[in-house]
Amino acid sequence: MGTPFALAEELKSQARALGFDPVGLASVPGSSRLPLRQAALERWLEAGYQADMGWMADPRRRAIEALLPGVRSVVAVALSHHVRARPRAGSLRVARYGWGRDYHRVIHQRLRRLGRWLEARVPGGRWRACVDSAPLMDKAWAEEAGLGWIGKNGNLIHRRRGSWLLLGHLLTTVELPADRPSPSLCGGCSRCISACPTGAIREPFVVDARRCIAYHTIENREPRLPDWLPPHLQGWVAGCDICQEVCPWNRPDLPESPEADLQPRPWWLALNGEEALTWTEQEWDERLRASALRRIQPWMWQRNIQAALDAGRSSP
């Protein structure tokens, strides 16, 4: 097997060969930063900023050992979904992470391949692949592994890749040398806070889901959106990228993702609201096949689209 450092480098090379970039390693229980992140999560939950996303309070989120007993290391990986394609002028808006194939499947399949490779190299070593559907403080562990820092908008930011990143983690009982946690490089910038049309970023690093366009268009199961929200939608009907679009780390010249699975489906870039309101549930089912945005039910799409269209008609 060689030394732990040699194994770590070989593991990172395997991860990059699977398309992940950046890649980093963290040791469990982590540095002194992890308890601070856990305390911040507790305060966030106590303030009710999770809205009705009860799963955010899952105690395993603050106890990584509950996800894999005996875990000693975390392999943090990211896939960039930055592409230069842009929505057609006048079309409704959909968050970029949903433009391609469901990233949960893409990342999970590749992490399982990485886990099997590690198991072959270290017989008896156990592992678990996690994407953001697992109760893990994924951004905190990615930061701990040196993938980037958690920005004031709550997203992980990498110097070279910006924040257009999809995260995954491989938990393992194999002890590996840790990388240095990333320092925060947001500095005095507050563009994301100023740009949020609903004031959802209550203070630096604190996002209130109850005010967030992404939460209401994806997770809110009420028949109607809150009355105060439609005037602020700005055409967003599935998620929202405003706080990322204004981030100076998301420069236009960021490296473009070569991943075929993450390239945009053409209809996302030319979503006509009036036309989409006529689609049947079967048509929605076909368009949303293997999409991360399948989480949004057809009736929710219709609700969101109608609200965005009505707001557009009433705006001066």
Q: What is the pTM of this model?
A: 0.94
Residue boundaries of the structural domains of the chain:
4-84+99-172, 191-314
What DSSP assignment string belongs to 181-209? PPPP--TT--HHHHH-TT--EEETTEE-G
Distances (CA, A) of 207 to 90, 117, 202: 28, 38, 6
Closest by CA to 76, choosing from 156, 186, 183, 164, is 156
Dihedrals φ, ψ of 90, to 5°?
A: 85, -5
> Do the Cβ atoms of 130 and 168 come closer than 8 Å?
yes
Q: How far apart are CA 62 and CA 45, in angstroms?
A: 12
pLDDT-based confidence at residue 59 (cuts at 50, 70, 90): very high
Q: How far apart are CA 99 and CA 20, in angstroms?
A: 18
Query: Computed over its alpha carbons, how large is the radius of gyration of the chain?
Result: 20
Active site residues: 132
pLDDT-based confidence at residue 271 (cuts at 50, 70, 90): very high
Q: How far apart are CA 77 and CA 12, in angstroms?
A: 9
- Reduced to 3 states (helix: H, G, I; strand: E, B; else coil), residue 255 is coil
Share of the chain above pLDDT 70, in %: 99
* pLDDT(315) > 80: no
* pLDDT(5) > 90: yes
- Reduced to 3 states (helix: H, G, I; strand: E, B; else coil), residue 270 is helix
Give the per-residue pLDDT at 2. Answer: 72
Give the per-residue pLDDT at 314. Answer: 67
Convert the pLDDT of each residue in 98-118 to its tens digit: 999 999 999 999 999 999 999
250, burial (CB in 10 Å: exposed 0-12, middle 13-18, buried 19+): middle
Convert the pLDDT of each residue in 291-305 to its tens digit: 999 999 999 999 999
Closest by CA to 98, choosing from 296, 309, 292, is 292
What's the rounded mean pLDDT across residues 18-32? Answer: 96
Q: What angle do CA 119, 76, 130 make, to 5 degrees?
A: 70
* pLDDT(165) > 80: yes
* pLDDT(313) > 90: no
Sign of CA dihedral 110, 30, 45, 193: negative
What DSSP assignment string belongs to 137-173? -HHHHHHHTTS-EE-TTS-EEBTTTBT-EEEEEEEES
pLDDT-based confidence at residue 316 (cuts at 50, 70, 90): low
Amino acid at 96: R
Reported in sequence order, the residue ranges of 67-163 that DSSP labels E, i.e. its strands, are 73-80, 93-94, 127-130, 149-150, 156-157
172, burial (CB in 10 Å: exposed 0-12, middle 13-18, buried 19+): buried
What's the rounded mean pLDDT across residues 178-186? Answer: 95
What's the rounded mean pLDDT across residues 142-157? Answer: 97
